[in-house]
C-alpha cells in the first residue's frame, strides 16, 4: 500500500486547489464592509488585506479591487502587518491586480502609520489608480517600495508623505515602476514647505521608474527630487515635470552609475536653498535630455555640477534666476548642450569637457579651463595651459 499512497500524495489532483473561483472584481469599503463578506458590490470587504487574501497563488487572471471612499487607517492585518501593505503573488502572463477608486471623484486615502514602508511589493504585477497614499503625517515616511521580480503601475496617484530624505516611490533590486497620468508628490509645497516634508523618487540597484505615456501625463514634486544611483534608472517622457526642493539635496541627483532620462519632457527645477545645486552628478552619473526643454529657476551658487566621470547631454536649458556659476565640470566629466539664456561662469577642470553648442544670451563672467579641462563655445575654445 505504500507505493499507491505515495502516488496519491504527489499526483496533480492532490495539489492545493484554489481557495475559490476568483471574480473579476472585489469590493472594499472601510465604512460598511465586513471581512467575512464575499467581496461583492453588495457585500464588500472591510480591508485591503482581506481582499489580497482572496487572491490565489498564482493569480490566474486580472482582478480589480475597488476601494470605497474614505480613510484606510490599517491594512486589516490579515497575513501581513496592519501598518504595511505587503504584496507578493505569482501571476499568470498578463495578469494584473488593480487597486482603484470605486468613485474617481472620491479617491480613497491609504493612511496607516508607523511602518517605514507603507506599501512593499515583492512579486507580481500590481496597479494603483485614482487614490492617495499617505495623509501628510510625520509617521508616514516612505510610500511605495518595489523590489526584485515585481512591477507596479501608478496612474493618477497622489502621495502625501513627510520625511527629511525618504522616498515616496523607490524601485530597487531590479524592481520596476511604470507611471501614467498625473503623478503628484506633495505638490502643494511648491511655494512654501515646512520642516520634515520631503518626498522624493529613488531608483537604485538596477531598479527602473519610467513613464510609458506622454499625452496628458505629468509629474510634480513640491519638496523632493529624482535620485538614481547604483545603476538605477529614472525615465520621464511625460509632457511636463516640475520639481521643487526645499531640502539639502539636488533636484536631479545622480551617482554611481545611475541614469535619468528627461526625454521630450518640459522640465522645471527650483532648488530653494541657496547652497543647493539643482542638477548634480558624480561617480559615473548620467543624464540624457533628448528633445527636453529644461528651465532652472532660483538663486543658487551653481546651477549644474558634474564630477567624477559623469555625463550630461541635452538640447535646451534656460537659466531663469541668479546663479554665480552656470556649470562646472571636473574629473573627466562631459557636458554637451545649448543655453537659451545668459550664462555666468563656466569652469572645466581635471580633464573635463564643456561643449556649448549655442548661447542665445550672453556669456557673462569668466570661462575657466584648468588641469586639462576644455570649454568649447560657439565663438571660441578655451583650453587649460
- Grid look-up 518595489 returns 146
- Integer Cα distance of 373 and 349 in angstroms: 4
The whole-number pLDDT of residue 8 equals 40
In terms of DSSP bridges, do strands 167-172 and 142-147 run parallel, antiparallel, or are they unpaired? parallel
Each residue's pLDDT tens digit, 258-289? 999 999 999 999 999 999 999 999 999 999 99
Looking at residue 21, its pLDDT comes to: 87
Which residue in 26, 83, 77, 89 sits closest to 49, CA to CA? 77
- Which residues, given as ranges, of the chain have pLDDT below 50? 1-19
Report helix, strand or coil for 8.
helix
Q: CB 69: neighbour CB atoms within 10 A?
A: 16
* HSE-up of residue 56 (Cα within 13 Å, Cβ side): 15
Residue 268 in contact with residue 292, Cβ under 8 Å?
A: no
> Among candidates 287, 211, 288, which has minimal Cα distance to 250?
287
Q: Within 10 A of 372 (CB to CB), how many other CB atoms are there?
A: 14
Q: Could you give the CA distance from residue 120 to residue 126 in angstroms, rounded to a whole number?
A: 11
pLDDT at 6: 42
Say what the pTM is. Answer: 0.94
d(CA 356, CA 377): 5
Give me the pLDDT at residue 49, please.
99
What pLDDT is stored for residue 17 in this prediction? 37
Contact 56, 18 (CB under 8 A): yes
Neighbours of 41 (CB within 10 A): 12
Label the pairing between strands 252-255 and 226-229. Answer: parallel
Average pLDDT value over all residues in the chain: 95
Which region holds residue 230: left if phi is over 0, alpha if psi is between -120 and 50, else beta?
Answer: left
> What digits encode the pLDDT tens for the residues 305-342?
999 999 999 999 999 999 999 999 999 999 999 999 99
Dist CA 312 CA 158 (whole Å): 30
Amino acid at each position: 500500500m505504500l507505493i499507491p499512497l505515495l502516488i496519491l500524495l504527489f499526483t496533480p489532483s492532490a495539489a492545493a486547489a484554489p481557495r475559490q473561483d476568483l471574480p473579476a472584481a472585489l469590493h472594499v469599503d472601510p465604512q460598511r464592509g465586513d471581512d467575512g463578506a464575499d467581496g461583492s458590490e453588495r457585500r464588500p470587504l472591510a480591508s485591503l488585506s482581506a481582499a489580497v487574501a482572496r487572491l490565489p497563488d498564482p493569480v490566474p487572471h486580472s482582478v480589480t479591487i475597488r476601494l470605497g471612499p474614505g480613510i484606510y487607517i490599517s491594512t486589516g492585518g490579515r497575513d501581513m502587518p496592519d501598518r504595511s501593505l505587503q504584496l507578493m503573488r505569482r501571476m499568470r502572463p498578463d495578469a494584473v491586480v488593480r487597486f482603484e477608486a470605486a468613485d474617481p471623484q472620491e479617491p480613497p486615502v491609504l493612511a496607516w502609520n508607523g511602518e517605514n514602508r507603507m506599501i512593499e511589493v515583492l512579486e507580481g504585477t500590481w496597479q494603483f489608480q485614482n487614490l492617495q497614499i499617505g495623509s501628510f503625517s510625520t509617521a508616514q515616511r516612505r510610500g511605495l517600495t518595489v523590489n526584485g521580480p515585481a512591477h507596479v503601475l501608478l496612474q493618477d496617484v497622489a502621495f502625501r508623505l513627510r520625511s527629511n530624505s525618504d522616498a515616496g516611490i523607490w524601485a530597487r533590486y531590479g524592481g520596476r515602476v511604470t507611471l501614467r497620468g498625473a503623478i503628484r508628490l506633495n505638490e502643494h509645497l511648491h511655494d512654501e514647505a515646512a520642516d520634515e516634508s520631503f518626498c522624493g523618487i529613488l531608483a537604485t540597484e538596477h531598479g527602473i521608474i519610467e513613464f510609458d505615456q506622454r499625452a496628458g501625463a505629468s509629474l510634480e514634486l513640491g519638496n523632493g527630487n529624482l535620485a538614481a544611483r547604483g545603476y538605477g534608472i529614472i525615465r520621464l517622457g511625460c509632457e511636463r515635470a516640475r520639481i521643487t526642493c526645499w531640502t539639502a539635496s539636488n533636484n536631479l541627483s545622480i551617482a554611481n552609475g545611475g541614469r535619468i532620462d528627461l526625454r521630450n519632457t518640459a522640465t522645471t527645477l527650483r532648488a530653494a536653498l541657496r547652497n543647493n545645486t539643482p542638477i548634480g552628478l558624480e561617480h559615473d552619473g548620467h543624464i540624457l535630455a533628448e528633445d527636453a526643454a529644461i528651465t532652472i529657476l532660483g538663486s543658487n551658487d551653481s546651477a549644474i555640477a558634474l564630477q567624477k566621470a559623469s555625463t550630461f547631454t541635452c538640447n535646451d536649458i534656460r537659466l531663469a534666476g541668479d546663479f554665480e556659476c552656470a556649470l562646472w565640470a571636473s574629473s573627466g566629466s562631459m557636458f554637451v548642450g545649448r543655453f537659451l539664456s545668459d550664462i555666468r561662469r563656466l569652469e572645466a577642470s581635471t580633464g573635463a569637457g564643456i561643449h556649448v553648442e549655442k548661447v542665445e544670451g550672453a556669456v557673462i563672467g569668466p570661462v575657466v579651463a584648468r588641469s586639462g579641462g576644455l570649454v568649447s563655445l560657439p565663438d571660441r575654445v578655451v583650453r587649460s595651459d
